[in-house]
Amino acid sequence: MREFMAITKALSDPNRVRMLLALRGRELCVCQITELFGLAPSTVSKHLSVLHNAGLVRSRKNERWVYYRLPGQGAPVMAREALNWVCKSLGGSEEATADQKRLKQILKMDLSEICRRQCQ
Amino acid sequence: MREFMAITKALSDPNRVRMLLALRGRELCVCQITELFGLAPSTVSKHLSVLHNAGLVRSRKNERWVYYRLPGQGAPVMAREALNWVCKSLGGSEEATADQKRLKQILKMDLSEICRRQCQ
DNA sequence: GTCTCATTTCGACATTTGGCGAAACAACAA
DNA sequence: TTGTTGTTTCGCCAAATGTCGAAATGAGAC
């Protein structure tokens, strides 16, 4: 029950759901997600920690950046089924499609450049 | 997205999830649910309206009582899949099992008697 | 019509939550 | 070591949420 509630609470915020959808098929670093959503870095970090706590994302650190990704087959059943449900339900939604489109632009940019813009 | 968020928000409260689990295989009237959870009737009513709004329960009125039940095949895909996920994930959980046990006792009681006790 | 009574709505309150900016942290660079 | 810099943690605030009791609703019963 505790595990389940951690997942549903994580999924009860639209920004967090959009983050999961943006992570389909690739990993993203915090600054890219921040750029995508136009939120403060601290806010994005908090959202990601909620998702991480629910087992809905994994993270790794490389050089200066922290990358988040969806967990693969190694994830607990509950989380995996939740993610399947999210992707199946909203994979083709307006919001997800628009995010994917903007994400394409962001992926072309240099990470350092993104971060520099956010530090202003 | 709106429909999806209504569902995840509805599922983000443990009492509401427990209500869904209690409704597996039977309909229950508001006073029975109130008795099961030890909450104020107004609180239970609000929770049920949130679930109803998300399409996760149906209701009907009979004589003095309002009965709630899980929607059958007629429910929208998203709600049906959410309910399947809930039942599959938590159907055998400690909380659900304990609730089922207490529910057995409550089902033996007369509806009028339950309501009389709650009006004190 | 009037009463009864199960349920819902309303108003208030305490807690939780999403958001930000500032400060702390961690890892690389010089 | 000392900066630089991307990320996280910490305080704080405004908005949303769970809970209750009181009042309103509405459908039978008399």
Q: Which of B63, B65, B50 is nearest to B7 (CA)?
A: B50
Sign of CA dihedral A80, A82, A85, A90: negative
The mean predicted confidence, pLDDT, of chain B is 94
Q: Could you tell me which residue, A119 or B97, shows the higher pLDDT?
A: B97
Nearest CB partner across the interface for A1, out of B5, B78, B93: B93
Q: Determine if strand C comes within 7 Å of the CB of A15.
A: yes
Tell me the domains of chain B and their CATH numbers: 2-115 (1.10.10.10)
Q: Determine if strand C comes within 7 Å of the CB of B115.
A: yes
Q: Which residues pair with A58 in a beta bridge?
A: A69
Nearest CB partner across the interface for A78, out of B12, B82, B89: B89
| C1' of D18 to CA of B46 (Å) | 10
DSSP codes joined into one string, chain B? -HHHHHHHHHTTSHHHHHHHHHTTTS-EEHHHHHHHHT--HHHHHHHHHHHHHTTS-EEEEETTEEEEE---TTS-HHHHHHHHHHHHHHTTSHHHHHHHHHHHHHHHS-HHHHHHHHT-
The mean predicted confidence, pLDDT, of chain A is 94
Q: Determine if strand C comes within 7 Å of the CB of A60.
A: no
Per-residue pLDDT for A104 more than 80? yes
| Residue B112, token pair as written in the block | 């009028």
Q: Tens of pLDDT along B33-78?
A: 999 999 999 999 999 999 999 999 999 999 889 999 999 898 999 9
